[in-house]
Amino acid sequence: MKFYSTNNKELQLNIKDAVIKGLASDNGLFMPEYIPQLPESFFKELDNMTFTEIAFEVLKPYFSPVVPENKLQEIIDDAFNFDIPLKHVDGNINVLELFHGPTSAFKDVGARFLARVLSWFVKDMDQEVYVLAATSGDTGGAVANGFVDVPGIKVVVLYPSGMVSDRQERQFTTLGRNISALEVKGTFDDCQRLVKTAFLDKELNDKLFLTSANSINIARLLPQVVYYFYAYAQLEDKNKDVVISVPSGNFGNLTAGLIAYKMGLPVKRFIAATNINDVVPEFLNTGEYNPRTSVQTLANAMDVGDPSNFVRVLELFNKQLEDIKDSISGYVVDDKQIRKTIKEVFDKTGYVLDPHGACGYEALKDQLNDDEQGIFLATAHPAKFPDVVEEEIGSEVDMPDTMKQFMDKPKIKSEISSEFIDFKRYLLNNDQQ
């Protein structure tokens, strides 16, 4: 299979080159030349398959034969060494808990797979690879921990100053070794712009080997397709139409769900649940896409004003607005409602939501019909947001052991402005050290 640039379908690479480059040379995102259909036999066996068995069948069309099947299975088994359970919350609403990995966030799925497949792709290179990652919350920790101590790879995480929770920040600023953290005086969109601009800078690319670990990298995105099939496999009642609500910021998570849908996942529709950074819900209502500066909210990982992956959503539907609207609806949740939802769900069911999951739950509760079965994605452990969650539920949230290890270590970080020249200077100076 080849992968084309969203800016030029004639620009095509195999999976290895697409993953190593991260971003196409014309600033486009890579997309598979077609979406493979999974056979009927797969769906007949789905209920009895493990997560890693599902992963192999879903990812094989994209990565093999460039990645030999035995190597792909090895990467999958190593990357996905934690569970992703589906749990009942209330009525016809279920939650897919994506926070049981080493950094307690859904980004562990994509980041761990990317780290292993990229390491295999670059193992024979005689030049260090710089992995650049912009984060609005959880990507930084997942990428840093996925790549820590991987030979031949340096990671640079960019994050907006004051817009990432302390517990999220500690997961990527306390590691050191081959992980560098850059606190940017700006927004997540500024961080994302710096990463994209670096790929287009000739001097940087002549001197450094750059790639990306954000969901703009196709190997970060494709593993996320797997857990949609796993969620469906765990549903006890498959006689009702299924609706999935996805907390959405940079829209990689929803894009993965839509790819699963195009591969044959029997889902009726999706809900794009955002905070007040509502560029995509606005597009679904008006047909006009108006990116703007992101606004800080309690659901910080979704504070994105110009989501990169939305271009992939357009590609999946050939830019036909009505087809997009048939499959996706939008829903906007403000901070006041996030707090209210966390409290109400806990008081009623005892289930503890994080701010992002609260957006997904609220959207699903509002738009789900009685004759439908709903799933929302819980993308981060509520212990990452103690100031909000504990205030609303009136008690402490138990911190996973995987998070405790970061709490007492000193932060190691550098500060830069949002100007590209500062980021470029940092990368060039860092390479000389």
Residues labelled as active-site residues: 107
List of residues 6+ apart from 290 with CB closer than 8 A: 279, 282, 283
209 forms bridges with which residues in the sheet?
129
**Distance of alpha carbon 134 from alpha carbon 198, whole angstroms:** 12
Q: How many CB atoms lie within 10 A of CB 45?
A: 14
Task: Render 109-151 in DSSP notation, one character per residue.
Answer: HHHHHHHHHHHHHTTT-SSPEEEEEE-SSSHHHHHHHHHTT-T
Q: Can the peptide bond before residue 65 be classed as cis, meaning omega within 30 degrees of 0? A: yes
**Burial 328-347, CB ≥16 within 10 A → b, else e:** bbbbbbebebbbebbbbbbe
Nearest partner of 55 among 81, 30, 32, judged by Cα? 81
List of residues 6+ apart from 154 with CB closer than 8 A: 128, 129, 130, 131, 178, 180, 430
Asked if 135 contacts 250 with a C-beta cutoff of 8 angstroms, the reply is no
Question: What SS3 state is found at 333?
Answer: coil
Q: How far apart are the first and last CA of the chain?
A: 39
